[in-house]
Each structure stands twice: as C-alpha cells, then as structure tokens.
Amino acid sequence: MKRERTNQRRATERGFTLTEVMVAITLSVFLLMGLFSILQQTRRTNGNTTGLSQLQDDERVAMTIMTDTIETAGYVPEANGSGQSNFIAAAPFTTAGQIITGSTTGASVGEVLTMRYDLAANDTTLQCDGTRNTGAEAAFTETFEITTNAAGVNQLVCIPNSGATVPLVNNVANLTFQFSVNSTSAGSITPSNKTGPNSEGSSVTGLGCPGDSWVATGSMSTSDWTNVCAVKVDILFINPLYQPAGQAQPTPGQNQYITFERVITILSKTGVNVTSSTTT
C-alpha cells in the first residue's frame, strides 16, 4: 500500500517533456520577434516624424528671418529719404546708394548675401542677433551665408553689423540667390527705390522697379546691383528621410535634398519690432 502511494505522487509531480519545452521556447521566440519588429517600426516612425518636424521648423525659422531682413534692405526712417545719404560706397558695396550685394565666393558652401538699411537712434527694428540701434542714426548691414561648425555640420548663419555670427539652422546643404532687376534700363543713376521716372526731375518712364528679368548672383553687373527689386532665395536642406546606398530606406523614393524657395521684395520696414511701454 505504501509503494502505491509513492508511485502516484511521482506521477503527479512529473515535469514537462523535452518536446513540450522546445515548443514553448519556439512560440516565445516568435512572439518576441513580433514584439521587437513592432518596437523597431515604432522607433523608425518616431524618428522620421521628428526629423520632418525639425526640417519644417528649420525652414520656417530660416525663411522668416531672411524675409524680415531682406525686405528691410534700403529702409530709411525719414519720409523724405534723406537717410539714403548713409549708404556710401564701402565694402562690400561698390556704389553709393547700393543697398544689396552678393557673392558666389567667400563662404564654405553656397553663396553670400549682404544687405543694409538705415536705423534711427533707438529705432524699434531688431537685427538678427536681437539687438537694436541705441546710438546715432547710421547704416546697418546683415550678411547671410553657410558656415561649418566644429562638428562638421553646415549651418545657415546671419552676421549683423556687430560682426558676431548668429547660427540660425543646421543641415543646410546649399544657399543660392537670384535677383529681379530692370535689365533694359539699369544704370548706376537708377536707385532701386525709384518706380517710374529715373529721377523726380525726369519725364523718362520705365526705369527702376519692377524688374523685368531674374539674374543669378554670378551674372550681376555693377549697375544691376543698384536696380534690385526682389530677391529669390533657394535654401537646400538635407532630407531627414534619405538614407545613403547600402542602408535601409525608411521611405522609398526620397530625394537626398529638399529645396525651399521664396521670392522676397525689398524696401519695406518689416520684421520684428519692439514697442516700448511705460507704467504710470
């Protein structure tokens, strides 16, 4: 009787067979593989979404700051335009009255654009570094170009009158410009802020803005620079969804770069302004 109870207890305490263990392990592996696949896909989707959001933010910041600055080129605070006398011939501006200039050299990547405008003492217009003119009325310059930082990343930067470089956005592959000019009547005596007659005392029409052709930076002549009516800006960004050859394509058919373009008119007071208020 005692032996029978022992055999029954051993029968009820019997463990899993090797076959059962192998089946359980196989099923667990398949479940884990599915879980890891979902996790990997989620991480990839999150990375793509983050990259696209960053690209949109960079494009918005770059175009907003450049538009605000370029539109202000040639601005003077006086209604009679007397502040234009501050636009003297001084490098990089070769002609008196010239308010915008560009170059295909001088930057590590892409082209360079420099513009200037006149600010009165305590003028509310801010420069790209967030400062304002606290001194006497004077002409201020701002330059846009691409530089490479210590980490080897291309940055779109703005260089205000103070000379301190202000990084704006990263991962910019190229920066190019075209200019709307009145090519049929451009001349050094035709400032870009004239519409219609060549001067107030002239009856000749058809000079000044609007322009009649787009001219690339490298093809601009000395007289063209005094007749710029608008600037076409092309910023080439690295596509965050692109993967080089040999790596997985998160989104098939993606181009390596994405171009953002905007046409910006000049000679208008725009951009960020500061309104001073007092409490009594």
Domain boundaries, the chain: 45-73+144-265
| Residue 66 to residue 64: CA distance in whole angstroms | 6
Read off the pLDDT band of 26 (50, 70, 90): confident
Nearest 10 degrees: CA dihedral of 45, 46, 48, 52? 140
The residue-averaged pLDDT of 110-137 equals: 89
In this structure, are residues 135 and 125 in contact, taking their beta carbons and an 8 Å threshold? no
Out of 98-112, 186-200, 204-218, the most confident range is 98-112
**pLDDT confidence band for 268 (50 / 70 / 90):** low
The helix (H) or strand (E) run that includes residue 138 is: strand 138-148
| Helix and strand counts by DSSP (H, E) for the chain | 2, 11
Quote the pLDDT of residue 249.
61
**pTM listed for this prediction:** 0.74
226 token code pair: 């005094």
Q: What percent of the chain has pLDDT over 70?
A: 78
Q: pLDDT value at position 84?
A: 84
Using DSSP's 3-state secondary structure scheme, residue 177 falls into: strand
Q: Tens of pLDDT along 59-101?
A: 999 999 999 899 888 888 888 778 888 989 999 999 888 899 9
User: How high does pLDDT run on average in the chain?
Assistant: 79
